[in-house]
Amino acid sequence: MNPETHPETATAVPYRPLGLIKQLLEHMNLEATHMYEDLIFVEHNAFLLQMGEKGEELYVWFNSDSVPEDRPEILTRLAEPAGWLSLKPIVKGMFSMQQNDQDESFQLEFISQSS
């Protein structure tokens, strides 16, 4: 996904650019495991992505159970290929996930990062 070898790099990013986000994850050797509305759940669950208000905005939410020391590396791995695709990763904060014991559903809680 190098700009020299991938001339199809996005110039105008569409609203909710799921295809571009899948390319980004592929470059990171990751897969989207589940999609719900504007949220993209990523394998290993250390972070999830949310499509922003503008097509190029890509919000990053870190799992509260993820290793804090690993988060800067994840952002670094996201940044370069995201730039090639005209996406702008923006850290929004943390999330936690609770499994519902009665059924197969789960509840997400988002904690926004202080500005």
Global pTM reads 0.83
Q: What's the pLDDT at 95? A: 97
Q: Tokens standing for 38?
A: 């504007």
CA distances from 45 to 41, 95, 99, 107, 110 (A): 7, 10, 14, 14, 14
Number of H helices, E strands in the chain: 2, 6
Q: Do residues 112 and 93 touch, judged by C-beta distance below 8 A?
A: yes
Q: What's the pLDDT at 115? A: 53
| pLDDT per residue as tens, the chain (115 positions) | 444 455 444 457 888 889 999 999 999 999 999 999 999 999 999 999 999 988 899 999 999 999 999 999 999 999 999 999 999 999 999 999 998 888 888 899 999 987 5
Q: Tokens standing for 90?
A: 């923006």
CA distances from 83 to 1, 9, 61, 63, 102 (A): 11, 9, 18, 23, 42
pLDDT tens per residue across span 84-100: 999 999 999 999 999 88
